Amino acid sequence: MKLSVHPMTLDLRTTFRVSHGASDQRHNVLLKIEHDGLVGYGEAAAVPYYGDTQESLSAYLNCLPPLGNDPFALEEILNALPAGAHAAQAAVDIALHDLWGKMLGQPLYRLFGLTPTPLPPTSFTIGIDAPEVMAARVKELNYPVIKIKLGADDPEAAVAAIRKSTSARLRVDANAAWEPEQALELITRLSRYNLELVEQPLPMGNVESYLWLRQQLKTRGVTTPIFADESVKTARDVAAYAGAVDGVVVKLMKTGGLREALRTIHTARAHGMKIMLSCMVESSVGVSAAAHIAPLCDHLDLDGPLLIANDSFRGLRYEGANLFIPQGVGLGVLPLPQQL
């Protein structure tokens, strides 16, 4: 199998602000694995808060030892990958799965034993801005499921302004910006706006704080579900947070690809937890890969291609909040003509 690594610069349609910072571009990596006249595509998204850069992801992929000549030896190949960024490993995993499906002439969801419909609606993400700007953006979009990025500075003002402008289902994501006492007070107040869930309210790596927060919210009669994102990468992390959160956010760039994403989903189910399938800012390659396991999940947050202006691939299809898995073989993604 022959590997080639290509940098991808994704131009965002609008400046994207979260509690970690703001950006107008994201710098990802496209991986191609060629075998027997077929090409498998994979994508690695550089995640700054995990220490990834386009350069570090490319260096990892360019230095991989030979993967052999059997794309069906998925477990053997993936288990033998050198230690490194999960996003880079995800690119290998996704490309191999794409090859797997192409060699068998089937879309991935069929090889996973899944049916492509019906799927939960996907949310659309609104980055941090002045409350009136965020509310105007939501009203302009007229989208039925909205995820609101929040920071530590007066997050209630943003939620209140948005709730006045829409009857959509609202989710909020603090990206680890709140301390426990602050989170308790904020979630208590925000619950009056009929939130579907709160994502990653607390910093990473403190299960005890999540246990405390969940118990305190229960005492106050607040039933808004809490989902862990940055705190949970793999199935092992899911087990550690069992009982501390109501659900987990699964992303291929965190798990290292589809193989571990499936293990993470099944582990969450075994612990009675809900699952939201999400993405980083990715092109149709990475998000289409995730879409093939969407039938296993309760909530979707797969809006990556909607956030960028220069997607180089055609894959999953959107009709409003409804997402349709590609029907082609493998991932079902096709490069646009200039990318051939």
Q: Identify whether residues 168 and 258 lie together within a single domain.
A: yes
Q: Identify whether residues 247 and 146 lie together within a single domain.
A: yes
What does the pLDDT read at residue 22?
A: 72
Q: Identify whether residues 83 and 189 lie together within a single domain.
A: no
Q: Identify whether residues 221 and 321 lie together within a single domain.
A: yes
Number of domains observed in the structure of the chain: 2
Q: Identify whether residues 76 and 224 lie together within a single domain.
A: no
* Token digits of residue 3: 């590997």
Q: Identify whether residues 207 and 287 lie together within a single domain.
A: yes
Q: Identify whether residues 273 and 322 lie together within a single domain.
A: yes
Q: Identify whether residues 195 and 181 lie together within a single domain.
A: yes
Among 66, 85, 106, give the residue marking a domain's end.
106
What does the pLDDT read at residue 138?
A: 96
What does the pLDDT read at residue 47?
A: 80
Distance CA 63, CA 46 (A): 17
Backbone angles phi, psi at 16, to 5 degrees: -110, 115
What does the pLDDT read at residue 340?
A: 44
Distance CA 201, CA 222 (A): 15
Among 72, 106, 140, give the residue marking a domain's end.
106
Residue 74 sits in a domain whose CATH number is 3.30.390.10
What range defines the domain where residue 64 resides?
2-106
Contact 98, 280 (CB under 8 A): no
* pTM score of the predicted model: 0.94
* Token digits of residue 41: 């595509």
Strands, DSSP E only, in 174-265? 195-199, 226-228, 247-250
Among 106, 135, 154, give the residue marking a domain's end.
106
Q: Identify whether residues 231 and 335 lie together within a single domain.
A: yes
Q: Identify whether residues 118 and 97 lie together within a single domain.
A: no
Q: Identify whether residues 173 and 292 lie together within a single domain.
A: yes
Per-residue model confidence as pLDDT tens for the chain (340 residues)? 999 999 999 999 888 777 667 788 899 999 999 999 999 999 999 987 788 999 999 999 999 999 999 999 999 999 999 999 999 999 999 999 999 999 999 999 999 999 998 899 999 999 999 999 999 999 999 999 999 999 988 899 999 999 999 999 999 999 999 999 999 999 999 999 999 999 999 998 889 999 999 999 999 999 999 999 999 999 999 999 999 999 999 999 999 999 999 999 999 999 999 999 999 999 999 999 999 999 999 999 999 999 999 999 999 999 999 999 999 999 999 999 865 4
Q: Identify whether residues 280 and 312 lie together within a single domain.
A: yes
Residue 143 sits in a domain whose CATH number is 3.20.20.120
